[in-house]
Amino acid sequence: MTPISVGNDVVDLRQPAAKHSAANPRFLDRVFTDRECDAIAAAPDRMAMLWTLFGAKEAGYKVVNKLRPAAAFAHNRFEVSADLSELFYDDIYLRLSIDRTDDRVHVVACTLVGVHMAGVGSVPPGADPSAAVRDLLKAAVASRVGCAAGDLAVVREKSPGSWDGFGPPRLLLRGRPAEIDVSLSHDGRFVAFAAAGAMLSAAEG
């Protein structure tokens, strides 16, 4: 049985880098399949469609990296369904949830449908985005499960060979692993999290 696993990605659509990349044909060819390129070209809002598809691939990779840590990340091996509800990577099938505004897009990928919670926030002036997204996650989870935010901690263990030398974030409750899988993302003005697991489902019930 596939474990519950979640990944997320947020993109600030007002970032200059977002507009620059969207206008680069080599970027499009490297990241998207032919069908996805056609979908971007046909979309009323090309920028929004492009970064929704990109965010889905980034979120999907975060899940695949947990299920298969040795998997290489090639964006065009992750294909998003035409209706933006699913993502496929080899034999792995993920459900997508998309939250889009004029300013940003937040995509969540999960192994099961309807079992995650997610949130988006703004980075306070002068704040560290990494700290801000952890605070956002801890506040939301604490409210759901009925503990203090201070009872929660987010840790990343060393993982030689990963892009930054550390593995995916893990959530601890009073120093012990929580039965909650988490994912964090930040870009430009925004931070976002996703979380899924039995502890959240039990708390919701």
**Mean pLDDT across the chain:** 92
Residue 127 sits in a domain whose CATH number is 3.90.470.20
Q: How many whole angstroms from its chain centre is CA 89?
A: 16
Question: What's the one-letter identity of residue 59?
Answer: A
Instruction: Please check the confidence at residue 172 and state whether its pLDDT lies above 60.
Output: yes
- Is the pLDDT at 202 greater than 70? The verdict is no
Give domain status of residue 71, yes or no: yes
Residue 183's φ and ψ, nearest 5 degrees, are -145, 140
- The mean pLDDT value for 174-191 works out to 96
More confident residue, 131 or 71: 131
**How far from 101 is each of 61, 107, 120, CA to CA, in Å?**
23, 12, 11
Percent of the chain with pLDDT over 90: 77
Q: Is the pLDDT of residue 148 over 70?
A: yes
Residue 108, CA distances (Å) to 4, 38, 68, 159, 169 in order:
13, 23, 18, 24, 15
Q: What total of structural domains would you count in the chain?
A: 1
**What pLDDT, on a 0 to 100 scale, did the predictor assign at position 21?**
85
Q: Which of 114, 69, 60, 70 is nearest to 92 (CA)?
A: 60
Domain encompassing residue 164: 6-204
Is residue 138 situated within a structural domain?
yes
Do residues 53 and 41 lie in contact, with contact meaning Cβ atoms separated by under 8 Å? Answer: no
The tokens for 171 are 């959530």
Which pLDDT value is given to residue 46? 93
**13-22, 68-77, 191-200, range with greatest mean pLDDT:** 191-200
Is 1 part of any domain? Answer: no
Percentage of residues in the chain having pLDDT higher than 70: 95
- Which residues, 6+ apart, have CB-to-CB distance to 44 below 8 Å? none
Q: Is residue 188 left, alpha or beta, with left meaning phi > 0 and alpha meaning psi from -120 to 50?
A: left
Amino acid at site 189: R
Q: What is the pLDDT of residue 204?
A: 64
How much is the average pLDDT of 146-161?
A: 91
Residue with tokens 């659509």: 13
pLDDT over 60 at 28, yes or no: yes
